[in-house]
Structure 1
Amino acid sequence: MRVTVVGAGMVGVSCALALQQKGLAVTLVDRLPPGSETSHGNAGVLTPSSLIPFNNPALWQQLPALLRGKNPGFRYKLPYLVGQMAWAARFLAHSRPPHFEKTVAALDALIGLSRGIHHDWLQQAGIRHRMRDDGWIFLYRSEAAWQSGAWARDVYKKYGVTFETLEFIDLQSLEPALQPIFAKGVWFPGAGSVDDPAEVVRAYARLFADRGGVWRQSEVMGLRPSSDGGWTVLGATGPLCGGDQVVLALGPFSRAFLSQQGVMKLPMAFERGTHMHYAPGPVALRRPIYDTAGGYVLSPMSRGWRLTTGVELNALQAPTPNEPMIQAEKRAREALTMGAALDTQIWQGSRPTLPDSRPMIGACPDHPGLWLALGHQHIGFSTGPGTGELLADLMLGHTPKLDPVPFSPDRFTFVR
Structure 2
Amino acid sequence: MKTDIIVLGAGIVGTSIALQLALRGRQVALVDRRGPGEETSYGNAGLIERASIYPVAFPRKLGVLAEVALGRNPGANYHWNALPGLMPWMYAYWRASAPARILDYARTMEKLLARSIEEHERLAGPSGAQHFFREGGWLKLYRTEAGLANERTEFPLAATYGLTAREISVDEALKLEPALRPVFTGAVIWSDPHSVSSPGGVTQAYAAHFTSLGGRFVNGDARTLARTASGWRVTGEEGVVEADEVVVALGPWAMDVLAPLGLRLPLAVKRGYHMHYRAEGNAGLSRPVLDEEGGYVITPMVGGIRLTTGVEFARRDAPKTPIQLTKTEKLARGLFPLGERAEAEPWMGSRPAFPDMLPVIGRAPGQNGMWLAIGHQHLGFTLGPITGRILAEMMSGEVPCTDPAPFAATRF
TM-score by length of 2: 0.95
- 1:331-410 pair list within 5 angstroms: 331-410=331-410
Name the SS of the counterpart of 1:48 in structure 2: coil
1:104 aligned to which of 81, 84, 106: 106
Q: Would the alpha carbon gap of residues 180 and 10 (structure 1) be closer, same or farther in structure 2, given more than 3 Å must change?
A: same
Deviates more, 1:84-93 or 1:373-382: 84-93
Q: What does residue 37 of structure 2 align with?
A: 35
Unaligned runs of 5+ in 2: none
Deviation per residue, 1:167-213 (Å, 9 max, x gap) = 10100110001111111111112211111111110000000000111
**1:58 shift after superposition:** 5.4
The separation in 1 between residues aligned to 2:284 and 2:57, in whole angstroms, is: 34
Identity of aligned residues (%): 38
Deviates more, 1:118-127 or 1:144-153: 144-153
**1:71 shift after superposition:** 1.6
**1:96 shift after superposition:** 1.9
The separation in 2 between residues aligned to 1:37 and 1:67, in whole angstroms, is: 29
1:123 aligned to which of 117, 125, 143: 125
Paired letter, 2:348: Q
Paired letter, 2:94: L
**1:57–1:100 CA contact under 8 A, matched in 2:** no
**1:53 shift after superposition:** 1.3
**2:295–2:310 CA contact under 8 A, matched in 1:** yes
The separation in 2 between residues aligned to 1:135 and 1:38, in whole angstroms, is: 22
**1:106–1:403 CA contact under 8 A, matched in 2:** no
Is 1:232 aligned with 2:217?
A: no
Name the SS of the counterpart of 1:50 in structure 2: coil
The separation in 2 between residues aligned to 1:219 and 1:207, in whole angstroms, is: 23
Deviates more, 1:58-67 or 1:240-249: 58-67
Q: What does residue 266 of structure 1 align with?
A: 265
Deviates more, 1:339-348 or 1:319-328: 319-328
Q: Would the alpha carbon gap of residues 60 and 206 (structure 1) be closer, same or farther in structure 2, given more than 3 Å must change?
A: farther
Deviates more, 1:378-387 or 1:212-221: 212-221
**1:268 shift after superposition:** 1.4
Unaligned runs of 5+ in 1: none
Q: What does residue 255 of structure 2 align with?
A: 255
Q: What does residue 53 of structure 1 align with?
A: 55
The separation in 2 between residues aligned to 1:153 and 1:61, in whole angstroms, is: 24
- 1:58-137 pair list within 5 angstroms: 62-137=64-139
**1:56–1:100 CA contact under 8 A, matched in 2:** no
Paired letter, 1:364: A
**1:102–1:406 CA contact under 8 A, matched in 2:** no
The separation in 1 between residues aligned to 2:307 and 2:34, in whole angstroms, is: 24
Q: Would the alpha carbon gap of residues 345 and 57 (structure 1) be closer, same or farther in structure 2, given more than 3 Å must change?
A: closer
Q: What does residue 276 of structure 1 align with?
A: 275
Name the SS of the counterpart of 1:51 in structure 2: coil
CA RMSD in angstroms comes to 1.7
Q: Would the alpha carbon gap of residues 236 and 410 (structure 1) be closer, same or farther in structure 2, given more than 3 Å must change?
A: farther
**1:57 shift after superposition:** 7.7
**1:55 shift after superposition:** 2.0
